[in-house]
Amino acid sequence: MTAPADMARPTVLAVNAGSSSLKFALFETDGPLRRVLEGEIKGVGSPGARLYVRGFDSADNLSEPVSAPDHSAASIALMSLIERSGWHGNLSAVGHRLVHGGKDYSQPQRVDATMLAGLRAISAFDPEHLPQEILLLETFAQRFPKLPQIACFDTAFHHEMPRVAHLLPIPRRYDARGIRRYGFHGLSYTFLMAELARIDGPKAARGRVILAHLGSGASLAAVHDFKPIDTSMGLTPPRAARQ
C-alpha cells in the first residue's frame, strides 16, 4: 500500500482504542477537514487479529492479518502501516479518545509525562480501557517522539454537572479521593449537541434535551442550555461498554 497523491497535504490521525479493537482515521487539515482513510485492527488480544483499511480510492483498501496480542503490539502494527504508506512525513498530530480523565482532565490536552503519571494513578477507575490506552500513548511516543499527541476525554462533557449529580451515596471522604459519578460517552454527546444545533437550530439545543448513546455500551445524558445536568453512568464504564 502506498500513499495516495493527496497525502502530500498535512494530516492528523485520530485513534480510538477499545477493549479489543483499535480504530483510526486519517484527516486532511489543509482546508476543510476531510477524512481520507479509516481503518481498524479487530481482535486485539486474540490470535485472529486483522487490520482493515478503507479509503475513498479502492486501491487504498487493505485487509491483512496482524500480530496484536495487546494494544502495544496493535499500535506498532498501525505505526508500521503509517511508515510504509508514507503518511508519517505529513502527519502533524495524533488525537486519542480516552474513556476516563478522572477529576483532573476536563479539556483536550497534549500528552506528556505528567499526564501519563496521572492516568496511571486512576487506571483502577477504568481497568477495561485505561491501561490499554496508556500503553498506546507510550508506544506512539517511543516510535514518534516528536509527534504531538492530544488526549480527548469521554468524561470531559460531564465535568460541569451540578455537584449533586456527581455525588454517590457513600461517605464524603471518598469523593475527596475521586470516587464520584463521572459520566461517559461525552465525545459522542458533544457531537450530538453540535448536530442538534446544526439541524434544528441553536434554540432547540439550548432547551431541555435527553441524549442517548446506544451501542455495546449505552447511556443517557440530560442537558439544559448546552450544559450537562445528569447522566445514567457513574464512576466507571461497565465491561460491556466496548468501542
Residues with catalytic roles: 154
Residue type, 24: F
Q: How many Cα atoms within 13 Å fall on the side-chain side of residue 150?
A: 12
Residues in the chain: 243
Task: Name the β-bridge partners of 53.
Answer: 39, 62
- How many Cβ atoms from other residues are within 10 Å of residue 209's Cβ? 18
C-alpha dist (Å) from residue 194 to 29, 65, 181:
20, 37, 24
CA nearest neighbour of 16 among 126, 111, 108, 95: 95
- Element at 94 (helix H, strand E): strand 91-98
Q: How many Cα atoms within 13 Å fall on the side-chain side of residue 147?
A: 25
CA nearest neighbour of 31 among 9, 13, 14: 9
Residue type, 155: T
